[in-house]
Amino acid sequence: MGWLNPPRPLEPAPPEERRLITIELVIVFAVTLGLSGLSSLLTLLDSLLAPVPIKDQTIAINVPLARAGLIDLFKQLLGVVRLIAWGALGAYLLYRAGMKLAAIGLDRSRPGRDAAAGAGLAALIGIPGLAFYLAAHAAGFNLAVAPSTLDDTWWRPIALSLLAFGNAWAEEVLVVGYLITRLRQLGLSENASLLVSSLVRGSYHLYQGFGGFIGNVVMGLVFGRVWQRSNRLWPLVIAHTLLDVVAFLGYALLREEVSWLP
């Protein structure tokens, strides 16, 4: 399927099945990224109520989880397992409903093209995204985001890379492939489904501030439309993984070396 082909229409489910799909969506997001969105909202409200402006506050993403190094490593890896399980849950529910994984672009039919598309998409989002983050922080709309505060250990690059993939897998499978497919089955239009997906993506980044919310909504609009047009999910997973690897490892390497990072 070409990248500019229109999305295939998906017939809305019967009324009784729509009710079950709605219940399923509530349950899935109540235990995964929807709960993260509510938690992020509370974190943002807490930051706004603090006595200092949010631009003078720092929020860390990947933090130590234990005092002992190996225990910390194992707890970080458990976080990776949780993220992979979240994405797998969405893919499994679609599969159980009779949809092949190839229908959402999770097959292995074109790894080279998917990788190239993912790299291009990462470049398209990454550079403007960094500029927007710096501008939002300077304008006072965003906290300073520390992608990693893990100690400088031998396993830090491995853990951060795996966490980057886990984030990408969970988010793109759940918020794009799974959610938009289910919203189509509920009868929502492509544009409405895309908007809902993007707002959900933005919601669990609210802990970063208003800039993080807006930036991720825009990212969601781009990623979601690419998927709607191409029906390939792997490029989104690859692009998101690359973005997070650069952010996590780059920050860990540069935070003491450059002055322009908040």
Q: For 202-256, how does the pLDDT look when each residue is reduced to its tens digit (9 = 90+)? A: 999 999 999 999 999 999 999 999 999 999 999 999 999 999 999 999 988 887 7
R_g of the chain, CA atoms, integer Å: 19
Please check whether residue 86 lies inside any domain of the structure.
yes
Rounded to whole angstroms, how far apart are CA atoms 211 and 40? 13
Please check whether residue 111 lies inside any domain of the structure.
yes
Start-end of H helices in 67-110: 69-96
Split into its structural domains, the chain has a count of: 1
Give the long-range contacts of residues 29-32, CB within 8 A, separation 24 or more. 29/174, 29/179, 29/200, 32/86, 32/89, 32/170, 32/174
204 and 153 Cβ atoms separated by less than 8 Å? no
Rounded to whole angstroms, how far apart are CA atoms 187 and 185? 5
pTM of the model: 0.94
Rounded to whole angstroms, how far apart are CA atoms 249 and 77? 16
Please check whether residue 1 lies inside any domain of the structure.
no
Please check whether residue 174 lies inside any domain of the structure.
yes
Return the pLDDT at 9.
58
Return the pLDDT at 5.
47
Return the pLDDT at 262.
80
**Torsion on CA atoms 161, 164, 165, 166, rounded to nearest 10:** 120
166 and 245 Cβ atoms separated by less than 8 Å? no
3-state secondary structure of 144: strand
Q: Can you read off the two tokens belonging to residue 171?
A: 């988010």
Q: Residue written as tokens 């720092």?
A: 58
The one-character DSSP state at 142 is B
Please check whether residue 261 lies inside any domain of the structure.
no
Inter-CA distances, 13 with 73, 182, 184, Å: 44, 9, 9
Return the pLDDT at 172.
98
Rounded to whole angstroms, how far apart are CA atoms 107 and 91? 12
Please check whether residue 90 lies inside any domain of the structure.
yes
Please check whether residue 207 lies inside any domain of the structure.
yes
Is residue 231 left, alpha or beta, with left meaning phi > 0 and alpha meaning psi from -120 to 50? left
Comparing CA positions, the residue from 246, 258, 236, 94 lying closest to residue 164 is: 246
Return the pLDDT at 86.
98
Compute CA 54 distance to the chain's CA centroid, rounded to the nearest angstrom.
23
Return the pLDDT at 255.
73
Q: Which domain holds residue 212?
A: 15-254
Segments of the chain scoring below 70 in pLDDT: 1-9
Please check whether residue 151 lies inside any domain of the structure.
yes
Inter-CA distances, 20 with 30, 39, 138, 146, Å: 15, 26, 46, 40
Rounded to whole angstroms, how far apart are CA atoms 226 and 169? 16
Phi, psi of 59 (to 5 degrees): -125, 135
Return the pLDDT at 11.
79
Sign of the C-alpha dihedral, residues 214, 136, 170, 7? Answer: positive
